[in-house]
């Protein structure tokens, strides 16, 4: 609860700062970006993040679960290791390498963001299944459930919140990394931030950075809510109220 209050206060502050700079119209000799520019860039930013995280999740979740299956377990190490390598390369380098390979434009930015956002999703999907208490599975087998039933009724519901947490982390990271997409011809809030950098005007940097941070916080909060809702009722630490808003912190 307290954490959410702090995040909402921060969110208000960031959006307030954005509106303040935008309303100035002019800082030093430079004109600030208009609300139209801001909306256009924010929407482009969101779209890019959405596409990238969607692809990363579509690849990462099935792959992460697949390598926990008995037949595929030898692939677990190379797959998780490969994704880890993707994340150790600096984001700027990943993005910069994409431009000569795939050309200038959205596609380069998205591929780079997918490479960068894949690891948290993949790793969480893998861990979510691997960390289920074997006693639970044994009990299910003892009750006569088939393997398919165990996967559908026991493993997936238990894994869901952890998988969602991975997607949340990946989303928050991607919102930040997507700032760099503008360097390879993508669009987004990075355009405003980098304009500020090259004009050497801190307030213009703020005009791009503050809404980016606000977007990361907002998406983080929304996905956190989704994560809670996906937690099986029996595992939730505290009941929800009728509005679906979580009253107390769980320890996830």
Give residues in contact with another protein (CB under 8 A).
28-33, 37, 40, 103-104, 182-183, 185, 191, 194-195, 197-200, 204
Beta strands in 196-250 (DSSP E): none
Nearer to another protein, 197 or 225 (CB): 197
Nearer to another protein, 60 or 196 (CB): 196
How far apart are the C-alpha atoms of 175 and 161, rounded to whole Å? 21
Question: Minimum Å distance from CB 52 to another protein?
Answer: 19
How far apart are the C-alpha atoms of 218 and 238, rounded to whole Å? 23
Question: Minimum Å distance from CB 190 to another protein?
Answer: 10
Question: Minimum Å distance from CB 92 to another protein?
Answer: 12
Cβ atoms within 10 Å, residue 183 = 19
How far apart are the C-alpha atoms of 80 and 45, rounded to whole Å? 28
Question: Minimum Å distance from CB 55 to another protein?
Answer: 23
Nearer to another protein, 166 or 208 (CB): 208
How far apart are the C-alpha atoms of 37 and 185, rounded to whole Å? 17
Nearer to another protein, 10 or 92 (CB): 92
Pairing mode of beta strands 30-31, 26-27: antiparallel
How far apart are the C-alpha atoms of 251 and 132, rounded to whole Å? 17
Contact 87, 29 (CB under 8 A): no
Question: Minimum Å distance from CB 191 to another protein?
Answer: 6
How far apart are the C-alpha atoms of 115 and 118, rounded to whole Å? 6
CA distances from 38 to 32, 35, 41, 121, 243 (A): 10, 5, 5, 30, 32
Nearer to another protein, 59 or 199 (CB): 199
Question: Minimum Å distance from CB 171 to another protein?
Answer: 25
Nearer to another protein, 163 or 204 (CB): 204
């Amino acid at each position: 609860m307290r954490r959410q209050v702090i995040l909402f206060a921060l969110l208000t502050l960031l959006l307030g700062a954005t509106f303040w700079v935008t309303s100035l119209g002019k800082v030093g000799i430079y004109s600030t970006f208009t609300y139209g520019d801001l909306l256009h860039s924010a929407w482009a930013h969101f779209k890019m993040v959405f596409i990238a995280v969607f692809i990363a999740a579509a690849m990462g979740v099935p792959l992460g679960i697949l390598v926990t299956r008995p037949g595929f377990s030898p692939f677990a190490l190379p797959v998780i290791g490969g994704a880890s390598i993707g994340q150790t390369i600096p984001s700027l380098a990943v993005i910069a390498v994409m431009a000569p390979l795939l050309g200038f434009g959205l596609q380069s930015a998205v591929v780079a963001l997918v490479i960068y956002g894949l690891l948290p999703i993949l790793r969480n999907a893998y861990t979510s299944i691997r960390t289920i208490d074997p006693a639970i599975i044994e009990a299910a087998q003892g009750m006569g459930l088939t393997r398919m039933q165990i996967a559908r009724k026991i493993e997936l519901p238990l894994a869901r919140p952890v998988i969602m947490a991975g997607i949340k982390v990946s989303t928050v990271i991607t919102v930040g990394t997507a700032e760099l997409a503008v360097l390879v011809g993508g669009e987004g809030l990075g355009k405003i931030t980098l304009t500020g950098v090259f004009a050497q005007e801190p307030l213009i940097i703020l005009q791009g950075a503050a809404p980016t941070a606000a977007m990361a916080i907002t998406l983080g909060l929304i996905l956190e809510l989704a994560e809670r809702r996906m937690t099986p009722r029996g595992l939730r630490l505290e009941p929800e109220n009728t509005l679906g808003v979580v009253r107390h912190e769980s320890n996830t």
